[in-house]
């Protein structure tokens, strides 16, 4: 084999090797890794409708992308014990977070409830679900804190203040 043939063969092998590296690096650019970093709820109101009690909550889920690529369109779904569910779709920025706020999500009954949370790529044709782009968690919603409850400890302060006033008036004999 001549030197020129070997040289041409090395150039061809180098080109194929370079093309392989380019395709590998673009594959890594599409990679993202998601996780739930916050889940919280706020009580909104309680309604009694025809003998049934409904509690309304705002539920906040924060999903964080820990990689350097923007995510595909992600669906976050919450589902109550009664089977009612709601979904929201967003993309999550690279090295960033996105808040998914479910407003006025209602639950029937005045008891502790488990809400299932799942997230996954919206389009099934983009990527198959795996541990980096989908997941599952739960949030436990405890009994509502309605407005008819008093501030804890307020009665104790009022009672101590009354006793102090009593001793001041008793010592000075104003009564």
Model pLDDT, residue 27 = 40
Name the nearest CA neighbour of 67 among 103, 22, 120, 30.
30
Q: Which residues pair with 58 in a beta bridge?
A: 42
Read off the pLDDT of each residue in 23-47 and give the average, rounded to a whole number.
74
Q: In terms of C-beta density within 10 A (0-12 exposed, 13-18 middle, 19 or more buried), how is residue 10 classed?
A: exposed
Q: Is the pLDDT of residue 74 over 70?
A: yes
Dihedral (CA of 63, 99, 58, 41) sign: positive
43 within 8 A of 55, measured Cβ to Cβ: yes
Model pLDDT, residue 67 = 85
The two tokens of residue 89 are 């779709």
pLDDT band for position 15 (cuts 50, 70, 90): low
The DSSP string of 79-145 is E-TTS-EEEEEE---TT-EEEEEEEEEEEESSS-EEEEEEEEES-TTT----TTT-EEEEEEE----
User: Distances from the Cα of 136 to the Cαs of 61, 63, 115, in angstroms?
Assistant: 12, 12, 11
């Amino acid at each position: 084999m001549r030197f020129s043939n070997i040289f041409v063969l090395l150039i061809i092998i180098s080109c194929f090797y370079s093309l392989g590296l380019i395709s590998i690096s673009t594959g890594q650019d599409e990679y993202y890794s998601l996780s739930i970093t916050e889940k919280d709820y706020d009580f909104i109101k309680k309604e009694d409708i025809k003998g049934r009690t409904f509690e309304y909550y705002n539920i906040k889920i924060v999903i964080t992308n820990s990689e350097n690529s923007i995510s595909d369109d992600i669906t976050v779904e919450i589902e109550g014990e009664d089977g009612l569910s709601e979904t929201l779709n967003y993309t999550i920025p690279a090295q960033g977070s996105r808040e998914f706020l479910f407003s006025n999500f209602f639950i029937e009954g005045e008891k502790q409830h488990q809400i299932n949370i799942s997230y996954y790529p919206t389009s099934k044709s983009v990527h198959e679900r795996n541990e980096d782009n989908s997941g599952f968690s739960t949030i436990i919603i405890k009994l509502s804190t309605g407005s008819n409850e008093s501030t804890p400890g307020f009665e104790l302060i009022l009672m101590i203040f009354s006793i102090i006033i009593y001793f001041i008036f008793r010592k000075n004999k104003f009564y």
